[in-house]
Amino acid sequence: MLEELSEGEYYWRDIIGINVYNEDDKYIGQIESVFPTGSNDVYVCKGEEREIL
């Protein structure tokens, strides 16, 4: 069983599939995957036209 996280913290499995919007509430895409790079995690957002990291 996974440990309980503090408020505002999430497991990757909880983030994959959520919708992403910009500050103007325009839909950008959906989180497709997350991968670690050593210094930080990179989120892959797949939009209708492209992928954004």
Q: How much of the chain, in percent, has pLDDT values that exceed 70?
A: 100
Q: Tell me whether residue 5 is in a domain.
A: no
Q: Is residue 6 part of a domain?
A: no
In which element (H, E) is residue 29 found? strand 27-36
How many folded domains does the chain comprise?
1
Look at residue 27 and tell me whether its pLDDT is greater than 90: yes
Domain extent for 40: 12-52
Residue 49 has pLDDT above 90, yes or no: no
Measured CA distances, 35 to 15, 23, 25 (Å): 12, 24, 26
pTM over 0.85: no
- pLDDT tens for each residue of 7-22: 999 999 999 999 999 9
